[in-house]
Amino acid sequence: MLKIDLAGKRALVAGVADDAGFGFAIAKSLAEAGATVSVGTWPPALNIFLNLLERGKMDESRKLSSGQLLQFEKIYPLDAAFDTLTDVPEDIRTNKRYKDTGDFSIDGLARRIEGDFGPGSLDIVIHSLANGPEVKKPLLETSRPGYLTALSVSAYSLVSMVSRLAPLMRKGGSFLSLTYMASERVIPGYGGGMSSAKAALESDTRTLAFEAGRKYGIRVNTISAGPLASRAASAIGIIEKMVEYCAQNSPLTDPLEAEEVGNTAAFLSSPLATGITGTIVYVDKGYHSMGMSQQDINPK
């Protein structure tokens, strides 16, 4: 029987702070397939995340098909806006939500992983990171700092992570990020430079697939997921409308489930997908294939 088998694989999912988004769903699917999973969590959300785990508030969502609970091998602090700790402004470094976390930069994450597990100990890296502080603003009203922050955290962080983590990976390893169709089509309300950041992320996926493939023998792909009303996505402000619109106008009309993205991520991270790299895989119920909305054809 052909199945996704990640037994003996070690995975890092960067961008998990609760049990409601794609990052958590991917972590769970990887664990279901047999991988050991560590996560990277934004420092301001770290204590809340740890408390939820310790108090059992996520036990139901952590339950695997075996009846066991999803366990995280390590939980690392990670702020993907910073490549090294020296890049961090003093006011952030001394902030009470950051000061006791150690080195929370991308370089610090790589050093911690190497210290915990040694070189050649990582197989799968999931980039589930995005931040657009002005996402509710139209592009015409977006400031330069807001635009550059969106690109820095949502796109360049993948470049930085591949640069620092690929040397720790075994040959045949997999990097995977999450993008959105706003990279190629206009989604009114998805502003602040986030559409530009997703376009950059997709372009970088192709280039990184070539460079890291030749240098390290690893694969780099991205999933273009449909909208999901997660807590993180609530920052967009119109996420419920986006979910409803896509459900009404997609070939498959059921709303997208986070688990569907998680299962696709497990496949792309597995030996079953060794021939796939530099690719955008759409997991959006087919919405990306539509050229006219159902509402325009059959208005109510």
pLDDT digits (tens, 9 = 90+) for 146-187: 999 999 999 999 999 999 999 999 999 999 999 999 999 998
* Domain boundaries of the chain, sorted by first residue: 10-287
- Catalytic residue, candidates 76, 98, 190, 287: 190
Active site residue 190: yes
SS3 string, 179-219, reads ECHHHCCCCCCCCCCHHHHHHHHHHHHHHHHHHHHHHHCCE
Whole-angstrom Cα distance, residue 7 to residue 131?
Answer: 32
Whole-angstrom Cα distance, residue 160 to residue 277?
Answer: 18
pLDDT at 224: 97
Sign of the C-alpha dihedral computed for residues 229, 231, 234 and 235 taken in this order: negative
pLDDT at 296: 59
Active site residue 180: yes
Instruction: Say how far residue 70 (Cα) sits from the centre of its chain.
Output: 18
Instruction: Say how far residue 129 (Cα) sits from the centre of its chain.
Output: 5
pLDDT at 170: 95
Q: What is the CATH code for 10-287? A: 3.40.50.720
Whole-angstrom Cα distance, residue 145 to residue 129?
Answer: 18
Residues of the chain with pLDDT under 70: 229-238, 294-300
pLDDT at 254: 87
User: What are the residues facing 69 on neighbouring strands?
Assistant: 63
- Catalytic residue, candidates 98, 147, 180, 287: 180
pLDDT at 226: 86
Q: What is the pLDDT of residues 234-269, one digit of tens each?
A: 666 667 787 788 888 888 888 899 999 999 999 999
Residue among 205, 109, 85, 122 nearest 156 (CA): 205
pLDDT at 237: 60
pLDDT at 241: 80
pLDDT at 242: 78
Query: How confident is the prediction for the chain on average, in pLDDT?
Result: 93
